[in-house]
Amino acid sequence: MKKISIVVPCYNEQEVLPLFYTEIQKVMAQIQQEHPETEFELLFINDGSRDGTLSQLREMAKADMRVRYISFSRNFGKEAGMYAGLENAVGDYVVVMDADLQHPPAFLPQMYNIVRTGEYDCATTRRVSRKGEPKLLSWFARKFYKIMNKISQTEIVDGAQDFRFMTRQMVDSILSMKEYNRFSKGIFSWVGFRTKYLEYENVERAAGSSTWSFWKLFRYALEGFFAFSTAPLTISSILGVVSCLIAFVMIIVIIIKKLCLGDPVQGFATLICAIFFMGGLQLFCTGISGQYLAKTYLETKRRPIYLVRETEKDVRKEPEA
């Protein structure tokens, strides 16, 4: 038998969770009909949801023994949710997908056929359009991938999703990277392995609303820059050198004008602007260094990536006599 673990991070998904469960059951039945050697487990990660997500997971775990769940003590973020799912999945193959049906379960049979042959270690999807997204958000997303691939040695495919069907070997390699500040899009690429990309049109959420605001996405992009590139540090060093050269040239020019031409030194407003410019430049470069130092600080504290409050075992316990 080949077990397939389907990891589903959840945060306030009470509206869409029943729809996802219905769809995934159909797909699992289809795969088992075509491949009788397969069996499944559904591993939901409740990332500190504040709605009825946990209650629904409890009921699903009671009714279906294939359903497992891990409920965090608070919201730790999707990265922690994916890591917890990969760490606790027991399948020979592991799938990571969202509950909002923007990762279509209908791709799973094709993904399994791709990976089970051994030609590829991972099958994933890649959006070829961003229909339904705000234009400004789509523009920033495209720019992020272009900049990231220029400043980092780890290539991240534009439009690549976290929706992945992976072998156990690839999952174990990802789990070996126990860093606290996680950027899974980069980690998936960094570990390598043979990956097949399946292109598809963007799918909007089946229900509810996304919790990813522009600010959260911007912070997530910064995580990628700082996690997989030291280019910002190089940029700050270059800016410092260029600023010093400009200042040196300006000093030479002023001295020549004073000694040779007798031109009095003027420009109080220019002096103030120069001070503000250099001060801002210094703060900018210091801020970049501070970001790397902050990431190092969090790593050295060695805090757990997530904390568990409850699992499906708690609701399946036999009542005491």
**Averaged pLDDT of the chain:** 79
Q: What whole-number distance in Å separates Cα of residue 264 and Cα of residue 83?
A: 66
Q: 188 with 249, same domain?
A: no
- The pLDDT score that the predictor gives to residue 270 is 65
Range with the poorest average pLDDT among 134-138, 242-246, 275-279: 134-138
Bridge partners, 70 (sequence order) = 45, 311
Determine the 3-state secondary structure of 37 from DSSP: coil
pLDDT tens, residue by residue, 283-314:
777 777 777 777 777 778 788 888 999 888 88
Least confident segment among 68-77, 128-137, 201-210, 234-243: 201-210
Give yes or no: residues 101 and 220 share one domain. yes
As a whole number, mean pLDDT of residues 212-229 equals 62
Identify whether residues 184 and 66 lie together within a single domain: yes
Determine the average pLDDT of the residues in 117-122: 88
Give the pLDDT confidence of 121-131 residue by residue, as tens digits: 999 888 776 66
Q: For helices 214-228 and 231-260, give the axis angle rounded to 10 degrees.
A: 90
Measured CA to CA, the distance from residue 185 to residue 45 in angstroms comes to 19
- More confident position, 310 or 141: 310
86, pLDDT greater than 80: yes
How large a percentage of the chain has pLDDT more than 70?
73
Same domain, 183 and 293: no
Same domain assignment for residues 194 and 285 = no
Nearest to 91 by CA among 108, 110, 104: 108
What pLDDT does 5 receive? 93
Highest mean pLDDT among 57-66, 174-183, 312-321: 57-66
pLDDT tens digits along 152-208: 666 777 667 788 899 999 999 989 888 887 877 778 888 888 888 888 776 655 455
> What does the pLDDT average to over 105-127?
88
Label each residue of 282-301 as H, E or C.
HHHHHHHHHHHHHHHHHHHH
Q: Do 161 and 84 fall into the same domain?
A: yes
Spatial contact of 155 and 146, defined as CB atoms under 8 Å apart: no
pLDDT level of residue 216 (50, 70, 90 thresholds): low
Q: Answer whether residue 277 is part of any domain.
A: yes
Note whether 193 and 154 are same-domain residues. Answer: yes
Calculate mean pLDDT across residues 20-29: 91
Q: Is residue 321 part of a domain?
A: no
Do 105 and 121 lie in one domain? The reply is yes
Least confident piece of the model among 45-49, 73-77, 200-204:
200-204
Task: Establish if 276 belongs to a structural domain.
Answer: yes
Collapsed DSSP state (helix, strand, coil) of residue 124:
strand
pLDDT band, very low/low/confident/very high, at 149 (cuts 50, 70, 90): low
pLDDT exceeds cutoff 60 at 137: yes
Residue 321 scores a pLDDT above 50: no
Same domain (yes/no): 16, 137: yes
Which one is predicted more confidently, 243 or 54? 54
CATH number for the domain harbouring residue 176? 3.90.550.10
CB proximity list for 253: less than 8 A, separation 6 or greater: none
The sheet that has 160-167: what strands, in order across it?
Answer: 195-200, 122-127, 160-167, 93-96, 2-10, 38-46, 67-72, 308-311
The first and second tokens of residue 197, run together, are: 């990309």
Range of the domain at 255: 231-301
Within a domain: residue 65?
yes
DSSP H helical segments within the chain, as ranges? Answer: 17-34, 53-63, 78-88, 108-116, 135-151, 168-175, 184-190, 214-228, 231-260, 268-301, 312-315
